[in-house]
Amino acid sequence: MVLPILAAVALLAGCEIPEGRSPGEPLRVVTTTGMITDVVERVGGDRIQLHGLMGPGIDPHLYRASAGDVRRLDSADIIFYNGLNLEASLGRVLEEMRVRTETVPVAEALPRELLLEDRDVAGAFDPHVWHDVALWLRVVEIVAQALEGADPEGREYFRANATHLMEEMKELDLWIRTEVARIPEERRILVTAHDAFGYFGRAYGFRVEGLQGITTLTEAGAGDVQRVARLVEDHGLPSIFIESSRPRRNVEAVRAAVRARGVGVEIGGVLYSDALGDRKSAAGDYLGFMRENVRTIVEALKEPPTVNGTPGRPWT
């Protein structure tokens, strides 16, 4: 290997190489969403020094980089992000980083034929791939390969961690299928604040209706509220859902519109859509996040709507 002259001189003089990683130092890794951070943490373990930018409840569509974030991104050896325009407001910063740092947009690395198209924007894809466990399992492999490339000595370690995580994810995928089977087919409809659950719906057999589109950059209109209210009434849905990283007002507007039609409907609970829960909570890691969502969905949809505890309609 030919070292750049400056680095070679620095090595001869016993000094540190001014840029880049010294041998034996952990890889400096920066990630965006909690779902990515969790996978990278599980695979990279103590061979990496990890910083996740987005904490619990943060909306990745709207997240903007602080000066501190830019510094961290700037000094990273590898950056993992979702891509497919999920981190819309970080787009330019990530684009700039691409020129000089290894950046891995994990969702963009998935085979195109497995992606869902964005219903509202021609040529764009739905970025919320983590809601399909089998698809997110492929991201584990993408992360492992990138870490191996940057730190070949860690190959076996990364491989073992990735294999272990993928086994857990396969079990989770099977568990989800068993759980959702408890909901009668006609009520497998998710009404949520924005279109985050398209991959969940495709993987586990739900129709999905978001009040806002794929991004949260545009607001839902009154027409959306009425359209979704009609759907809730037509299908006799007992519950609709709010999202942890979105304001609840749009979903509450749907509940009010449904009730104005004389039909009972409840808020079925909070779904984690685009961010993990608090680190110490049950939804603080990816596996727990998925489990919590499925528990909430099954609990809220398995029984028909009730009025004062008695099954039936209309709302009084």
Strand pairing partners for 48? Answer: 27
Find the shortest distance in angstroms from Cβ 68 to Zn ion: 24
Between the alpha carbon of residue 61 and those of residues 148, 164, 199, the distances in Å are: 29, 31, 17
Judged by the rule CB under 5 A, the positions of this chain that interact with Zn ion are: 196, 274
Q: Which is nearer to Zn ion, 45 or 55 (CB)?
A: 55
Q: State the alpha helices, DSSP H only, in 181-247.
A: 198-204, 222-235
Q: Which is nearer to Zn ion, 131 or 187 (CB)?
A: 131
Q: Any residues with CB less than 8 A from the CB of 57 and at least 6 apart, and which?
A: 244, 245, 275
Find the shortest distance in angstroms from Cβ 188 to Zn ion: 21
Q: Considering only CA atoms, which of 271, 278, 280 is closest in space to residue 246?
A: 271
Q: Which is nearer to Zn ion, 161 or 296 (CB)?
A: 296
Q: Which is nearer to Zn ion, 118 or 274 (CB)?
A: 274
- Strand-strand pairing, 306-307 and 310-311: antiparallel
Q: Given its phi and psi angles, is residue 197 left (phi above 0), alpha (psi -120 to 50 degrees) or beta? A: alpha
Find the shortest distance in angstroms from Cβ 28 to Zn ion: 28
Find the shortest distance in angstroms from Cβ 25 to Zn ion: 35
Q: Considering only CA atoms, which of 81, 77, 94 is closest in space to residue 36?
A: 81
Find the shortest distance in angstroms from Cβ 245 to Zn ion: 8
Nearest 10 degrees: Cα torsion 245, 278, 283, 285: 110
